[in-house]
A and B are shown apart, each in its own frame.
Chain A
Amino acid sequence: MASGCLAKVVCSDAKHNFLVHYLLALAVILASPLLFSIRYLDSKQAAQPLEMLVPLIGIILLTPVFMPEQNESIRDVVRSKKTSYSLICLLRLLMAMAVLLSLIGAFVLYMRHCGSAVTFRHFTGSAASAAVLGAVGLFGAAVSDDTITGYMSAVIYFITNFLLKDKLGIFYIFSMSSGSFAEKKWLVLMSVILTAGTFTVRSIRN
């Protein structure tokens, strides 16, 4: 009964609040072959679209998890409900992650189909970059209680990667393009810490 209720909540949430984000993430993936060559690329070349464009879907999908309740009127209604707000947000996050992994997975498979030398590593590397960008946005949005600040934090992190490049060390999200994969595990760790921090901040605030 409870699980059926939660499934309904997630479906309704996805349909009314997040469908536009899912569609936008899909648009980014579909636009990638227009912006990048994805045919017959070697390992380093294939990492370029997977690190520089595809991870942007992390910002689109993960940052707005708390957005619907940003409007104070909606927040008042949500607070009066019996269902745990944190649980709903966690489900939204899992849903967003599922969409993110599916889109990246599909894109990697398409690149493979086009003859590029992509492996499972490319998939995990791209997903790690997307997750950390999204986690930075999510954290920014939760701390400031404003999704725009979340987007801003994630975009600044992205710009910083462009400008400072490997000077960022373990926080460099384009490392696969220069042949290094070691940074990715740190990015995953950072994503987990930021997401945990986000939920902690949010539960304290509520």
Chain B
Amino acid sequence: MIFFKDCKRIARSMTYLIYCVIVALFFFTQYFSDCRTEVGPPFGETKAVEDHDLIMSGAALSLAEDYFANLYICYPFGFYKSVTLNEKKQEVIEDALTEMTGLSMEELTKLRDNAEHYTSYDGLHEYNGYIIDSVPVSSSLTYDRFLEIMKKVNKTLGGGSSYKPDDLIFKFSQVPMTKEEALEEYDNFTNKDRVTGALARLFSDYTGIDAAILPVFVAAALTSEDRRRRMSDLVYSRKISSFRLVFTRYAALITAMFLPLLITMIIAQIQAVSIYGSNISMTALFTLPSFWLVPNIMEAAAVGMLFTELFSGGTAVIVQFLSWFLSLLTGSGQLYGKIRSFTLICRHNTVFGRDIFMTYHSQFVFNRIFYIVFSLAMVTLTVFVYETKRRGAFNGIRLFGKGSLLRRKA
């Protein structure tokens, strides 16, 4: 049967061997070592709450200080970017500030003049900073309007600023946990999540980083192997349909790459039982990580197959690496609750914060289903490309050489 033959080929490949080693290595050095001891209540930690008043006052104060200094720190792709605005763009911020606070520009300037002034030197330039105690928030400002203003401010700053609507809760609404809240979090961990539900999120967070990139190498190596070994013509001449061939190969890839993850899930379950006893969920460490990680494997493998057929293995690696790199670094400061409709690498690097995770649960479900459908669409496209090549009507896109756009390589 072709499926098992392909599984065998994958299992014997060097890229798959490396994939298994890295999955195991990252699992033991990250998740396994983090979960060695029993988790207790998170006393002394902070939590993000969706308190609209807190968010609006915090954002208004921060924006006022940034505006007066004309220095905005942004992380458009996860990296530090200090933004200084020109006069026209400062006016946009000025309008936002006056609408948010309900103060006129004169009143705001007075507030600045009374504020504590400091000069900071970053080794090259001097910056004038202001420490303002508080700024009022206009009583007529609704939260929806506030979000619209924040969207505009973030756009004016070039993205990735502290005022990005999705990140406002995490930036401006962090409050210290009371003892009761810490105990409630712990109660969520032990009763609602039944321990492994929370551990499953942490497991998926760690494993998702490598599951979103490594499968592309295995898929690209397998797809390009026929050509490299001069077996393409032989395979093309077989009776089997392109649809069946490509999808069987894809299914073999997903199965083979899921297997090491399944083994790490079993080890994680055994570790959890040995620490917390048997009164925990016996399924959560299998169901949630499967739903979380399989779409990542599917997407990376689909990119590997499609771009290798269309261009080359190198191109597939570059495309997947770019999307992985940008997804990992966008909002890199946010390690939990980083789950939106199209986030490639979902992050929730804590056993707590069940409430935050549940806030984004519907987006999470949409996200994972989207990536499954997207991957299947890419594989269907691969079938079409493969079939065209098989019929001799297409031989990959070429950049150099006669009548070519992109040169195709093995």
What is the interface of chain A, defined by CB distance below 8 A to chain B? Answer: 15-17, 19-20, 24, 35-37, 39-43, 45, 48-49, 52, 64, 67-68, 70-73, 115-117, 144, 146-149, 151-153, 155-156, 159, 162-164
- Residues A42 and B228 in contact, CB atoms below 8 Å apart: no
* Inter-chain contacts of B30 with A (CB < 8 A): 163
- Residues B221 and A146 in contact, CB atoms below 8 Å apart: yes
* Inter-chain contacts of B346 with A (CB < 8 A): none
The winner among B30, B123, B209, B220 for most chain A CB atoms within 10 A is: B123
Q: List 18 A-B contacts (CB under 8 A).
A: A20-B406, A24-B318, A37-B79, A40-B125, A41-B124, A45-B80, A48-B79, A67-B314, A68-B409, A71-B228, A71-B409, A72-B229, A117-B124, A146-B221, A152-B18, A155-B213, A156-B18, A163-B26
Q: Report the separation of the CA atoms of residues A33 and B317 in the bound assembly, to the nearest whole angstrom.
A: 23
- Residues A153 and B18 in contact, CB atoms below 8 Å apart: yes
* Inter-chain contacts of A45 with B (CB < 8 A): 80, 122
- Residues A19 and B400 in contact, CB atoms below 8 Å apart: yes
- Residues B82 and A159 in contact, CB atoms below 8 Å apart: no
Q: Is B41 in contact with chain A by the CB < 8 A criterion?
A: no
Give residues 114-165 of B contacting A (CB, 8 Å). 122-125
Q: Is B403 in contact with chain A by the CB < 8 A criterion?
A: no
Q: Is B22 in contact with chain A by the CB < 8 A criterion?
A: yes
Closest to B328 in A: A162
Give residues 288-331 of B contacting A (CB, 8 Å). 313-314, 317-318, 321, 328
* 8 closest A-B pairs by CB: A42-B123, A37-B81, A152-B217, A71-B410, A144-B14, A35-B77, A148-B221, A148-B313
- A67 smallest CB distance to B (angstroms): 6
- Residues B209 and A70 in contact, CB atoms below 8 Å apart: no
Q: Helix, strand, loop or mixed for chain A's interface?
A: helix
Q: Report the separation of the CA atoms of residues A98 and B122 in the bound assembly, to the nearest whole angstrom.
A: 34
* Inter-chain contacts of B313 with A (CB < 8 A): 147-148, 151
Query: B210: which of A36, A72, A159 is its contact (CB, 8 Å)?
Result: A159
Q: Is B214 in contact with chain A by the CB < 8 A criterion?
A: yes
- Residues A40 and B314 in contact, CB atoms below 8 Å apart: no
Closest to A39 in B: B82
* Inter-chain contacts of A41 with B (CB < 8 A): 124
Closest to B407 in A: A20
- A53 smallest CB distance to B (angstroms): 8
Q: Report the separation of the CA atoms of residues A49 and B221 in the bound assembly, to the nearest whole angstrom.
A: 30
Q: Report the separation of the CA atoms of residues A147 and B215 in the bound assembly, to the nearest whole angstrom.
A: 15
* Inter-chain contacts of B318 with A (CB < 8 A): 24
- Residues B230 and A20 in contact, CB atoms below 8 Å apart: no
* Inter-chain contacts of A43 with B (CB < 8 A): 123
- Residues B400 and A20 in contact, CB atoms below 8 Å apart: yes
Q: Report the separation of the CA atoms of residues A170 and B245 in the bound assembly, to the nearest whole angstrom.
A: 47
* Inter-chain contacts of A146 with B (CB < 8 A): 14-15, 221, 228
Q: Report the separation of the CA atoms of residues A72 and B318 in the bound assembly, to the nearest whole angstrom.
A: 24
Q: Report the separation of the CA atoms of residues A48 and B220 in the bound assembly, to the nearest whole angstrom.
A: 31
Query: A156: which of B22, B29, B77, B407 is its contact (CB, 8 Å)?
Result: B22
- B338 smallest CB distance to A (angstroms): 16
Known: A24-B318, A147-B313, A152-B15. 17 other contacts (CB 8 A): A36-B77, A37-B79, A40-B125, A42-B123, A43-B123, A52-B79, A70-B228, A70-B409, A72-B228, A72-B230, A73-B230, A115-B124, A117-B124, A151-B317, A156-B18, A163-B26, A164-B29
- A10 smallest CB distance to B (angstroms): 16
Q: Report the separation of the CA atoms of residues A120 and B26 in the bound assembly, to the nearest whole angstrom.
A: 36
- Residues A149 and B81 in contact, CB atoms below 8 Å apart: no
- Residues A155 and B14 in contact, CB atoms below 8 Å apart: no
Q: Report the separation of the CA atoms of residues A37 and B22 in the bound assembly, to the nearest whole angstrom.
A: 33
* Inter-chain contacts of A19 with B (CB < 8 A): 400
- Given A45-B80, A159-B209: A151 touches B217 (CB 8 Å cut-off): yes
**Contact string against A for B residues 190-232, beta-carbon threshold 8 Å, 1 for contact and 0 otherwise:** 0000000000000000000110011001001100100111100
Closest to A143 in B: B14
Query: B122: which of A42, A73, A144 is its contact (CB, 8 Å)?
Result: A42
Q: Report the separation of the CA atoms of residues A144 and B79 in the bound assembly, to the nearest whole angstrom.
A: 35
Q: Report the separation of the CA atoms of residues A159 and B409 in the bound assembly, to the nearest whole angstrom.
A: 26
* Inter-chain contacts of A67 with B (CB < 8 A): 314, 409
* Inter-chain contacts of A37 with B (CB < 8 A): 79-83
Q: Report the separation of the CA atoms of residues A13 and B79 in the bound assembly, to the nearest whole angstrom.
A: 37
Q: Report the separation of the CA atoms of residues A60 and B123 in the bound assembly, to the nearest whole angstrom.
A: 34
- B322 smallest CB distance to A (angstroms): 10
Q: Is B277 in contact with chain A by the CB < 8 A criterion?
A: no
- Residues A148 and B224 in contact, CB atoms below 8 Å apart: yes
Q: Report the separation of the CA atoms of residues A85 and B399 in the bound assembly, to the nearest whole angstrom.
A: 26
- Residues B400 and A42 in contact, CB atoms below 8 Å apart: no
- B347 smallest CB distance to A (angstroms): 13
- A21 smallest CB distance to B (angstroms): 8
- Given A49-B79, A152-B214: A147 touches B314 (CB 8 Å cut-off): yes
Q: Is B401 in contact with chain A by the CB < 8 A criterion?
A: yes
Q: Is B76 in contact with chain A by the CB < 8 A criterion?
A: yes
Query: B217: which of A24, A64, A72, A148 is its contact (CB, 8 Å)?
Result: A148
* Inter-chain contacts of A155 with B (CB < 8 A): 213, 217, 317, 321
- B305 smallest CB distance to A (angstroms): 13
- A47 smallest CB distance to B (angstroms): 11
